[in-house]
Amino acid sequence: MRFGLVGAVLAAVVAVAGTALAQGDVVAQRRGGLRQMGQHMEAIAAVVQSRGDQAQIATRVDQMTAFFQTLPNLVPAASLTPPLPQGTQEGQTRALAAIDANRAEFGNRAQAMLTQLAALKTAAQSGAVTPDMLRTTGGTCGACHQQFRAR
Ligand code: HEC
């Protein structure tokens, strides 16, 4: 009987720890991917600014597209804030619970990103990416942040 109770408590603790670990994984994956998106945007801006070969932009845009296609799957309810602590330290997140309350709108924001990236790729293929296009792209990132990311 006592064994049974201890066993049950242990099982519960392990289950909770397992959940925390799984959410930590998805938060780390999401944040790591988004950090890379920032790096891609900086690298793309540098190419445009230095009038470099825009063919390399298309390759980066392909990688960005692949990530944003998965983003709606990287925001399970238990990985948002709350319940997770809000912040930029490890194990914290700035992804708002508003995402779970409004999945359709989050999906729209992700889709708008994909549409903008497709336009960017087409322009890159003919060397026609302008600083204005990059500003528009940045605005598409910002529109989602405004709504779904804590400051
Ligand atoms: C569909 C919504 C959405 C779009 C589009 C989006 N982001 Fe984000 N971004 C988020 C959310 C949500 C977070 C918070 C993630 C977290 O803290 O778990 C975030 C966080 C970030 C972070 C911080 C990552 C970290 O270190 O914690 C960077 C950098 C970032 N985004 C860059 C970008 C760039 C660049 C773009 C556009 C190319 C972009 N994002 C487009 C939703 C979006």
Closest of 71, 68, 82 to residue 26, by C-alpha: 71
Handedness of CA 48, 54, 60, 62 (dihedral sign): positive
Q: Please say if the pLDDT value at position 141 is more than 90.
A: yes
CA of 122 to the centre of ligand 1 (A): 23
- Index of the ligand 1 atom closest to the CA of residue 117: 38
Share of the chain above pLDDT 90, in %: 83
Residue 30 near ligand 1, beta carbon < 6 Å = yes
Task: Give the mean model confidence (pLDDT) for residues 102-129.
Answer: 98
Mean pLDDT, all residues of the chain: 91
The percent of residues above 70 in pLDDT, for the chain, comes to 86
Confidence of residue 5 (pLDDT cuts 50, 70, 90): low
Q: Is the CB of 41 under 6 A from ligand 1?
A: yes
Distances (CA, A) of 92 to 6, 48, 87: 31, 34, 5
Joined together, the tokens standing for residue 86 give 């809000």
Taken as a whole, the chain contains a residue count of: 151
Distance between CA atoms of residues 77 and 97, nearest Å = 7
Q: Which of 64, 59, 44 is nearest to 133 (CA)?
A: 44
Check residue 23 and give its pLDDT.
78
Residue 58 has φ and ψ, to the nearest 5°, of -60, -40
Q: What are phi and psi of 22, to 5 degrees?
A: -60, -40
Taking only the tens place, the pLDDT of each residue in 59-81 is: 999 999 999 999 999 999 999 99
- Distance CA(94)–CA(84), nearest Å, equals 9
Ligand 1 within 6 A of CB of 117: no
Which of 34, 108, 133 gets mutated to test ligand 1 (max ligand atoms within 8 A of its CB)? 34
For ligand 1, the distance from its centroid to the CA atom of residue 106, given in whole angstroms, is 12
What is each CA distance from 54 to 26, 51, 145, in whole angstroms? 33, 8, 27
- Confidence at 24, pLDDT banded by 50, 70, 90: confident
Q: Out of 3-7, 110-114, 121-125, which region has the weakest mean confidence (pLDDT)? A: 3-7
Task: Read off the pLDDT of each residue in 103-109 and give the average, rounded to a whole number.
Answer: 98
Contacts for 12-15 with beta carbons within 8 Å, 24 or more apart?
Answer: none
